[in-house]
Structure 1
């Protein structure tokens, strides 16, 4: 575990950076999909509401590992088919980082959609009705009344989804991405010291979760300043 020429310290730190990067990318993709899904769930069009309901039901019901496999092998098959049209032969694998981030994002989007939807439903209806009575257009009503308050209520739930995304990032090792879990497996196999490497990986995951959890906690406290809470 040293940082010398024969140590694995730098490799584990680099893999930790990959884990954080893929988790952040997947989380941001999920946030965008969650916002779109939440907006669709409040739409006056039944087709959009049904599509949002189907999306969150399917993605929360299918195992995350299966989603990653479907994204990776589905996109790889598509790339291979396109390559064959230009004379390429054999199987062409999709980029593991991009595929994994998209897969995690699609899954987390289903959970974030429910978080955002619940945050909107928690808003006092009187304020929204007052904005409509004042003549605010829908976009202005959303920007000035709905978004600031919904974001305040959504922070705790979004923080929980981030913790899930962080743990799900370990599953991307199955498609070849050398993130923290995969690097721990490589180190354990090379040195035959599995306990040390997996314990170190566990400590690094806990460290990331602790730091990010504190960040969400501070964001929640800042967002709730001036708001009286029931005791």
Structure 2
């Protein structure tokens, strides 16, 4: 440091030239600096949802959530991992490091998930991976209630009418329904009758699955028209379920 000080004292012209050069470079650098009110950042979250019908939360945690967590935790760029094990369902939420390449992380995580599929219990459905880029905080909550419609009817209306319109709005990333109450048929089995007919709960479940589904038959074409054909194979009333032959 003393060397430079003595040099500039002995050669004032050199000191002026160097100072001027530093000033010019500084002014040029100031003009190229990006000035943003909100710096551009990318906050990405990857959610892994896996369904294992009929399993308890303990089974989900031990046989599904834990193997998947252990596999994906090796991926680079992960900030933190949270998970919840519910009845029949495992949900793993992966928050990536700020501005990390989300597509690359999704590819790696998908590969890790596929590598442990053979370790999951038989009957486990294929894990579903969803990439969410942007703010993870909900921007708006909209409540729906009615003095005329039942809760399941409200859910049906919101699912068919409201949710698609909200998701079509420019700038909306996703619109989720919290606490939906969907239409469902609950079936209680009589163990005595099952034993009398030599049936099991699996037999009843198979009969329901084989007789309550939507079938697409294709379409028929005319000279000016094309009509899609569907078969009315679903069960729509309590009486139809009661008359089902097992």
TM category, shorter:
under 0.3
Q: Which has the higher contact order (CA 8 A, sep 6+)?
A: 1
TM-score, length-normalised on structure 2?
Answer: 0.22
Q: Which has the larger radius of gyration?
A: 2
Q: Which has the higher helix share?
A: 1
